[in-house]
């Protein structure tokens, strides 16, 4: 019995050495594939038929035979992999010496995308605001008439609505319940944030696209970004607003760039101001881009008591300031861009300059 057992194991050993011998003679990938079929093929290889005969062996011989059979299989597979790798290397070296490859040839250029100038500007603004303690708060693009206007102290039919030519999505300017608009400014985010955070202090910016039903020109687009700023707390004063805005312009435009604050009016701030930066094109002389030598970059003011109340803050205890700035305007001033339409025209000759 033991005799037959060792005979069977010898048969496996022979299969292994014959296969390895044949493999040593293999010198091409085609021959290698043929070797694989002949010696590792599941149907007709000597190893496969040997393993198939396992069932015909006496029971006590089967474990040793099975074990050895698997060892042979693994050994042949490893030898196959090593041979394949060696052939690949040899082939590569042949091609190199034959000059089929020119390793000194420059590679194909990889096309690199870049950030859109508006996105760059936004990120720069986020960074400056973050350093001053303002967190990003996101608000929706489609707004109710209530949040876009009414809660900001602009009732239906109020003439102040003329400041924002509005895209109505549902309903109309009569502001019946259910009227939806594309937000004309990021200010509705003020009330949304206040209602979420009251009575805690707030220091946020609300960035996002705003939409206006405008005649498009070099200075006016139907869509552009705004970055709203809002600070609410105790003892917040106009001087805090002033300091924040001046520090912001110094960080974005440098300490030398002339700016000015003008009195203004917004229904949701009192008092209200606007901030102008000297025109990048004419340096204050007045030109076709700016008209007066100055370009407005933001509106701002102390949050109106009614708006504080709508947001859930008692105006006797709390105060706050807010601003709304236009990053595309800021980018135009910073980089001397003369046509706001370039931002969304998707012309690579413009976009690639940034
Ligand atoms: N929402 C105003 C606008 O779009 C700007 C603004 C924001 C003014 C906050 C004052 C305070 O013109």
> Mean pLDDT for the chain?
91
* pLDDT at 1 exceeding the cut of 50: no
| CA dist., res. 188 & res. 141, Å (int) | 10
Residue 144, token pair as written in the block: 């109710």
Least confident of 73-77, 106-110, 172-176: 172-176
Q: Which atom of ligand 1 is nearest to the CA of 186?
A: 1
Phi–psi pair at 224, nearest 5 degrees: -165, 170
Is the pLDDT at 86 greater than 50? The verdict is yes
| Angle in degrees, CA 158, 160, 162, rounded to 5 | 100
Name the residue of 160, 183, 185 whose CB sits within 8 Å of the most ligand 1 atoms, as the mutation to test its pocket: 185
Pocket test for ligand 1, best of 162, 182, 187 (most atoms within 8 A of CB): 187
pLDDT at 182: 97
Question: Does 185 sit in the ligand 1 pocket, CB within 6 Å?
Answer: yes
Answer yes or no: is the C-beta of 190 below 6 A from any ligand 1 atom: no
Q: Which residue has the higher pLDDT, 28 or 241?
A: 241
Q: Would you list the DSSP string of 22-87?
A: HHHT--SHHHHHHHHHHHH-TTT-HHHHHHHGGGGS-GGGHHHHHHHHHHHHHHHHHHHHHHHHHH
Tens digits of residue pLDDT in 94-111: 888 887 777 788 888 888
pLDDT for res 5: 73
- pLDDT higher than 60, residue 320: yes
- Nearest CA owner, ligand 1 atom 7: 324
For ligand 1, say whether the CB of 301 is within 6 Å of any of its atoms. Answer: yes
| Residue 230 and residue 251 in contact, taking contact as beta carbons nearer than 8 Å | no
């Amino acid at each position: 019995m033991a005799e037959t057992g060792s005979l069977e194991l010898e048969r496996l050993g022979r299969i292994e050495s014959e296969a390895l011998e044949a493999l040593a003679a293999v010198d091409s990938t085609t021959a290698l594939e043929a070797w694989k079929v002949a010696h590792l093929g599941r149907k007709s290889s000597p190893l496969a038929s040997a393993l198939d005969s396992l069932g015909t062996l006496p029971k006590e011989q089967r474990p040793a035979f099975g074990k050895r059979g698997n060892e042979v299989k693994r050994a042949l597979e490893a030898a196959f992999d090593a041979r394949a790798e060696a052939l690949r290397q040899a082939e590569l070296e042949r091609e190199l010496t034959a000059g089929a490859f020119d390793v000194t040839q420059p590679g194909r250029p990889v096309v690199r995308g870049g950030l859109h100038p508006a996105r760059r500007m936004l990120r720069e603004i986020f960074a400056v605001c973050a350093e001053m303690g303002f967190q990003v708060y996101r608000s929706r693009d489609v707004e109710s008439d209530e949040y876009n206007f009414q809660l900001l102290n602009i009732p239906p039919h109020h003439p102040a609505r003329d400041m924002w030519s509005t895209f109505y999505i549902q309903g109309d300017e009569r502001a019946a319940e259910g009227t939806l608009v594309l937000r004309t400014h990021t200010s509705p985010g003020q009330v949304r944030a206040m209602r979420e955070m009251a009575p805690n202090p707030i220091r946020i910016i609300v960035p996002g696209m705003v939409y206006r039903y405008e005649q498009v020109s070099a200075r006016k687009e139907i869509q552009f970004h705004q970055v709203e700023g809002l600070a609410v707390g105790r003892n917040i004063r106009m001087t805090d607003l002033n300091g924040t805005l001046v520090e912001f312009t110094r960080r974005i435009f440098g300490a030398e760039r002339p700016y000015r604050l003008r009195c203004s009016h917004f229904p949701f701030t009192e008092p209200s101001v606007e901030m102008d930066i000297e025109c990048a094109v004419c340096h204050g002389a007045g030109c076709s881009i700016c008209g007066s030598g100055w370009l407005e970059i933001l509106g701002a003011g102390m949050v109106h008591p009614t708006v504080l109340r709508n947001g859930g803050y008692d105006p006797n205890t709390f105060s706050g300031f807010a601003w709304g700035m236009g990053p595309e305007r800021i980018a135009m001033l910073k980089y001397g861009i003369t046509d706001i339409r370039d931002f969304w025209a998707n012309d690579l000759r413009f976009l690639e300059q940034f």
